[in-house]
Amino acid sequence: MNLFSTDHNRIITTENFLYATRCIIGVVICYVLFLYFPQLPFQWSVVSVVVAISPDNSLALAFDRMKANLLGCAIGLILFFIHLPNLLMLCIGVVLVIVTGLYFKLQGSIRSALAAIVVLMVDSHHAHDWKLAMGRLGCVIIGCLIALLVTIGFSLVFKLLKAKNSTQENGEH
């Protein structure tokens, strides 16, 4: 029995293994930041990195998720300074993210933007603390950047392996 297969009817496939590996690498990097900088909310980077990494290692989707996260952060930051009840602002933010995401053709990445706005806006103990909002915004963006770098890193490794295999096959013929 082949544990790693490309058969999509199996749970354990090469693609799924690589997806889990990318997620684990992103989580480990963010968690190390969380441990070394306990004064900053890097736990939100962990959330951001797992939402932003794509199962198919698509660079286009990774960039779209980065844009979507920036969109969610921007809308969340703007709404953070409007002093209405948190639930109302969160609902307004969700609608604005969806409408704006659809306008910018980020349909496949709106979940990332929604995660970003929720991370930025949900807080019951420190309502309207701009330092908290900026810290969360920075950590969400760092998580997205880490996800993007992990995706780019894997893509480069795949391209190098493909080029090496192609060179070997051409040299053998």
Query: According to the model, what pLDDT value does residue 149 have?
Result: 95
Domain contains 63: yes
CA 72 to chain centre: 12
Q: What is the mean pLDDT of residues 36-42?
A: 92
Shortest CA distance to 66 belongs to which of 140, 154, 158, 153? 140
Domain contains 88: yes
Domain contains 80: yes
Query: According to the model, what pLDDT value does residue 32 have?
Result: 97
Q: What is the mean pLDDT of residues 119-128?
A: 66
Does the pLDDT of residue 3 top 70, yes or no?
A: no
Shortest CA distance to 107 belongs to which of 142, 165, 60? 60
Does the pLDDT of residue 171 top 70, yes or no?
A: no
Q: Are 103 and 131 in contact (CB under 8 A)?
A: no
Query: According to the model, what pLDDT value does residue 124 have?
Result: 45
Query: According to the model, what pLDDT value does residue 155 have?
Result: 92
pLDDT per residue as tens digits for the range 52-94: 898 887 888 888 988 999 999 999 888 877 878 888 989 999 9
Domain contains 2: no
Query: According to the model, what pLDDT value does residue 172 have?
Result: 58
To the nearest whole number, what is the mean pLDDT of the chain? 86
Q: What is the mean pLDDT of residues 145-168?
A: 89
Domain contains 4: no
Domain contains 1: no
Structure tokens, 32:
């190390």
Does the pLDDT of residue 27 top 80, yes or no?
A: yes
Query: According to the model, what pLDDT value does residue 126 have?
Result: 54
Domain contains 148: yes
Q: Are 18 and 3 in contact (CB under 8 A)?
A: no
Q: Are 128 and 81 in contact (CB under 8 A)?
A: yes
**Domain total of the chain:** 1
Determine the structural domain holding residue 61 and report its residue range: 14-172
Domain contains 9: no
